[in-house]
Structure 1
Amino acid sequence: MGTTILIVDDNEDIRFTLKEICHYANWSVLEAATGKQAIDLYSKMNPDLVLLDYHMPDWDGVKTTKAIRNVSQTVPIIVLTVDERQEIADTFLNAGATDFALKPIKAPDLLSRIRINLKIGKLTENQNSVFVDKGINQATLMSIKNYLIQQDDPSTINDIQKALPVAYQTVHRYLNYLEGKGEVEVISQYGKKGRPKNTYKFI
């Protein structure tokens, strides 16, 4: 079966652009102009991934994310936003989003994010809970894994924190969790002075 992407945005022109990008990758597309339409479509069609706008009338992206998570705990949700503030990212991650794409949309970046999130979605679709351990949220965990998988070179906590964005302390806690699971390798780099700098690589 082919891949189906659900696009949720109240702007028809943006939906058209996103649809063209998805069609370029030979993915089928479902369109919703509101959060309520998205939930109805999701429940009926069970798409493989959701592209979700933040600013929408009636149901915004956060409320829609929570509603989708009530239906599916594992489907990847990529939030589209012009807002780079840390508190917005934290709110979406806590609601269950898995990744972010900044507007204006750049096709190569979005295609890469969709592909990696589809892979992660396949790996996690059989999990029964968004919580894999006490205090560990599946969505946040997948976002950090997502970033590390895409990197050829080891990354610092600062690298990850700036890219997602997720708070420094949160990244550190999740990396420790992944290290304990044997999924992340910690590489210490020693300089001429001071403490060694740790970098992290997905195994």
Structure 2
Amino acid sequence: MSLYLGALDDDRSILYTLEAMAVSQGWEMHTTTDPEEALSWIREDRLDILLVDYHMPVLSGAEVIRRAREMSGSVVLLVLTVEESPTVAKELLLTGADDFVSKPVRLADFASRIRLHGELARYRRDMRKDAPRKGISEATLRRVQDLLREEEAPSDVRAVATALGLAYPTAHRYLEYLVERGSALRIQEDPEGKPGRPRFRYCRVP
């Protein structure tokens, strides 16, 4: 199952370990020490699961969880912690956390929890009102979204199709779906007096 993971921790060595574990299971992992970057992933709907360190120096893990849950009801939020206090656990669950991953993180526990919560993430996505309609693959949709984020200038359908190895009609369908969902903008090119159908370019929503 394709999964898109994110991890927020102020210890880069832990992030390296988590990324290596995710890659070994065939999952994509984004890592950061910046809470605002992690929250931007949630805002842009880039993740299925976000792992958050409880002890963060600038913005607490509990506050990151609270803000992330306000942005998304479908993303699975897991807390990385060495804490075993019932009070802390209750606080985090009330702010929107789904579960905990104990430090130090071990591959077997990490992999089993991610697989379990990956099913929860998929179920929540399927229940969303804006869940991809029939004929739209979540994995391909995210590839198109990632390409639009990486491009500095708006891209036309042919450029997107070529970059991602998609058929032209397929690329067009996904781009139009993103526009319909409010996740991309369609920009009409100035025809400069030339006859024919108008040409469009697409870009991410600023």
TM-score (norm 1): 0.60
- Provide the alpha-carbon RMSD of the alignment: 1.8
2:168 matched to which residue of 1? none
Give the superposition deviation at 1:4. Answer: 1.1
Task: Please name the residue that 2:114 is paired with.
Answer: 114
- Gaps (5+ residues) in structure 1? 130-203
Contact 1:34 1:56 in 2 (8 A): no
Within 2, Cα distance between the matches of 1:29 and 1:46? 11
Change (3 A) 1:128 1:44: closer
Distance in 2 separating the partners of 1:115 and 1:99? 13
Cα shift at 1:48: 1.1
Deviation >4 Å, runs of 4+: 126-129
Q: CA deviation at 1:124?
A: 2.1
Aligned positions of 1:151-170 closer than 5 A = none
Aligned partners of 2:41 and 2:112: how far apart in 1?
Answer: 25
The CA deviation at 1:71 is 1.2
Aligned to 2:31: 31
Q: C-alpha offsets along residues 26-52 of structure 1, whole Å, 9 cap, x if unaligned? A: 111111212212112332352111111
Amino acid at match of 1:63: E
CA deviation vs aligned residue, 1:155-202 (integer Å, no higher than 9, x gap): xxxxxxxxxxxxxxxxxxxxxxxxxxxxxxxxxxxxxxxxxxxxxxxx
Contact between 1:66 and 1:96, CA under 8 Å: does it hold in 2? Answer: yes
TM-score (norm 2): 0.59
The alignment partner of 2:64 has SS state of: helix
Letter in 1 for 2:5: I
2:15 and 2:31 in contact (8 A); partners too: yes
Equivalent-residue separation in structure 2 for 1:111 and 1:2 (angstroms): 13
Mean CA deviation greater in 79-88 or 40-49: 40-49
Identity between Structure 1 and Structure 2 (%): 29
Is residue 9 from structure 1 mapped to residue 24 from structure 2 by the alignment?
no
Provide the residue aligned with 2:77 in structure 1: 77
Code of the residue aligned with 1:7 in structure 2: it is A
Structure 1 contact 34–57 (Cα < 8 Å) conserved? no
**Offset of residue 2 of structure 1:** 3.4
Distance 1:46 1:12, change over 3 A: same
> Are the counterparts in 1 of residues 42 and 72 from structure 2 also a CA contact under 8 Å?
no
What's the counterpart of residue 47 of structure 2?
47
Q: Is the 8 A contact 1:8 1:51 kept in 2?
A: yes
Larger Rg: 2
AA matched with 2:112? S
What are the equivalent positions in structure 2 for 1:170-189 lying under 5 Å apart?
A: none
